[in-house]
Amino acid sequence: MELFVGTILYMAKYWTQILELTGEHLYMSVSAILIAILAGVPLAVFMTRNRTVATIIQTIINIIQTIPSLSLLLIIMIFLGLGYSTAIVALALYALLPIIQNTYAGLENVDKNLVEAGTGMGMTPMQLLTKVKLPLALPIILAGVRVASVVSIGAATIATFVGAGGLGEMIMRGISTTDDQKILAGAIPAALLVILVDMLLGLIEKKAGYRMHTVKTQK
Amino acid sequence: MRYRWMSSIIMVVISALLVAGCGGGGNVVKIGHQATSEQTIIAHMLKQLIEANSDIKTELVGGLGGTPVVLKAMQNNDIQISAIRYVGTDLTSSLGLNEFSKDPQEAFDLVKNGVAEKFDQLWFPSYGFDNTYIFTVRKDVAEKYNLHKISDLTAHAKDMNMASDAPWLERTNDGYPAFKKEYGFEFGKTTPMDIGLVYKAVDKGDVDIVLAYSTDSRLKEYNLVTLEDDKHFFPPYGASPVVRNDTLKQYPQLEELINKLTGKIDTQTMTALNYQADIEKLDPADIAKKFLVEQGLIK
């Protein structure tokens, strides 16, 4: 109880600093998710065209997941140096797995009859992708984005190791001085961010699913 | 139409991100430090000392994840000053040496020359303290097994759970693999964790023994017993600032300014400063300021 009250008081006293760190945290994780989507979705589309490529990409993103965060940061640092860029690229690499996996699974599981119907109507492969496959796979892709965001926001606490700040900085300062209030003052906003973003994406996901449904019944 | 609208938003966001990512630089000397209180306090001292006595602008880059990150940031010119580097750590992890003298002066010369040659950085004289690794147990454990030095652990180690920072378990030269060879025993279980957590872990009995940092004030606060390194396994860990040589050329007054701290902080003083941060929860910037004023280095 004393810890709880102390944490609230601490957060009230340093709220500008916590807000700034939260901003950095959100900036890095959102950028990482956007990059992961922009890179992951086209890659997954490519994977549906070619089995060998699919296996290779699958293996690579699986390997990336197993690299410990600090070594991944060190490798990226060789090219991008200290700061936001290195942290964002590392987070994007971790976020690739759920996005690629879900997009790939979503596209692969589109009803073959619908694809055939599209082909029968004379659709080009591009039209088939943008007008049939991607819209139908969208709810599953969004579920992947949701997982990726939770992973990214959680993992963004490692950004502090390359001087990029974020709420991890507060947590690490707490750990290095055995100050539980500081640890919580960093951990609580991070947890709230995860919950908030997850709820937001859940709403979007629901909306997307609903729209697909109405499109289908209109046909 | 809607898709075009969305894609233009995405493009704007991405270009904004790219522009934001490329910022920084300019005529600022950046001081890099790790997350420990010791590193943070010293980094603030350097910043205040330099800014009070010259018109050089400095900026702190904190929380870096270990000596390898600090070194790489120095090489990339992301930072120009390392607030503290430790002789033993750099000899083994940065210079990759296996065998070297454990005499403090010889080790110091070796690291100074090595870092100058390999990385073009100047290793300053020591601040005056060593922050070495030290095996630490709770008082009742020490009494139960009658522990005074590391060799006393030989018979009991296999029943013990040992916690240390993760790098030590991996480092080949001054880390756990070499330790096992030197002392001829190993612990039943090892638990790597952040160094800030080991003190509470051993105090609460979550682990039996921890490898602590000798300047940490929590050793005293938690009434912990430290064990003598009777085989002199650990190399000297004298603490010094390190600066890029091209930065020293650009700002000739920097060397003299930083040298004002040489020999000013002995192990006891550093432990006391850490105490103010870790136990009294004072702000590192204030601790640094108070110390510099007391020493007459700033007004």
Task: Measure the CA–CA gap between A154 and A129, rounded to whole angstroms.
Answer: 33
High-pLDDT (> 70) share of chain B, %: 91
Give A18-33 pLDDT, tens digit per residue: 999 999 999 999 999 9
Residues of chain A neighbouring B199 (CB-CB closer than 8 A): 178
Which of the four pLDDT bands, split at 50, 70 and 90, describes residue B16?
Answer: low
DSSP at B153: G
Which of the four pLDDT bands, split at 50, 70 and 90, describes residue A218?
Answer: very low
ipTM of the complex: 0.72
- Structural domains of chain B ordered from first start: 28-130+236-294 (3.40.190.10), 133-226 (3.40.190.120)
Quick one: tokens of B186?
């190993």
Helix, coil or strand: residue A128 = helix
Residues of chain B neighbouring A31 (CB-CB closer than 8 A): 17
Give the residue from B265, B254, B238 showing the smallest Cα distance to B80.
B254
Instruction: Decide if pLDDT at B148 tops 90.
Output: yes
Under a CB-based contact definition with an 8 Å cutoff, are residues B92 and B174 in contact?
yes
Domain boundaries, chain A: 2-218
Q: Report the first-to-last Cα separation within chain A, whole angstroms.
A: 59
Quick one: tokens of B119?
């990385």
Please identify which residue in the block is written with the tokens 């959680």.
A154
What's the confidence (pLDDT) of residue A210? 61
Residues of chain B neighbouring A85 (CB-CB closer than 8 A): 21
High-pLDDT (> 90) share of chain B, %: 75
Phi, psi (degrees; rounded to nearest 5) at B173: -85, -45
Cα A97 to Cα A145, A149, B247: the distances in Å are: 10, 12, 42
Q: What is the pTM of this model?
A: 0.81
Q: How large is the average pLDDT for residues A98-105?
A: 95
Quick one: tokens of B63?
């929380």
Give the residue from A24, A164, A154 showing the smallest Cα distance to A84.
A164
Cα A141 to Cα A37, B4, B214: the distances in Å are: 9, 20, 52
Residue B206, CB-side half-sphere exposure with 13 Å CA sphere: 15
Of all residues in chain B, the one with the smallest CA distance to A160 is B63
Instruction: Decide if pLDDT at B188 tops 90.
Output: yes
Would you call B212 an interface residue with chain A, using a CB distance cutoff of 8 Å? Answer: no
Task: Measure the CA–CA gap between B32 and B81, rounded to whole angstroms.
Answer: 6
Interface of B with A in 262-291 (CB under 8 A): 277-278, 281
Under a CB-based contact definition with an 8 Å cutoff, are residues B202 and B163 in contact?
yes
| Long-range Cβ pairs for the range A65-72 (8 Å, 24+) | A65/A94, A65/A97, A69/A155, A69/A158, A69/A161, A70/A158, A70/A161, A70/B65, A70/B66, A70/B69
**A164 alpha carbon, distance to own chain's centre:** 18
Work out the minimum CA distance from A70 to partner chain B, whole angstroms. 7
Average pLDDT value over all residues in chain A? 90
Task: Measure the CA–CA gap between B287 and B276, rounded to whole angstroms.
Answer: 7
Task: Measure the CA–CA gap between A56 and A62, rounded to whole angstroms.
Answer: 10
What's the confidence (pLDDT) of residue A4? 87
Contact check, Cβ <8 Å, A77/B277: no
Residues of chain B neighbouring A162 (CB-CB closer than 8 A): 64-65, 69, 73
DSSP at B93: I
Task: Measure the CA–CA gap between B149 and B227, rounded to whole angstroms.
Answer: 4
What's the confidence (pLDDT) of residue B23? 43
Quick one: tokens of A169?
């900085």
What's the confidence (pLDDT) of residue B99? 83
Query: Which CATH entry fits the domain spanning A2-218: 3.30.559.10, 1.10.150.170, 1.10.3720.10, 1.10.3210.10?
Result: 1.10.3720.10
Which is more confidently placed, B15 or A69? A69
B7 burial type by CB count under 10 A (0-12 exposed, 13-18 middle, 19+ buried): exposed
Give A144-196 pLDDT, tens digit per residue: 999 999 999 999 999 999 989 899 999 988 888 888 899 999 999 999 999 99
Work out the minimum CA distance from B63 to partner chain A, whole angstroms. 6
Would you call B32 an interface residue with chain A, using a CB distance cutoff of 8 Å? Answer: yes
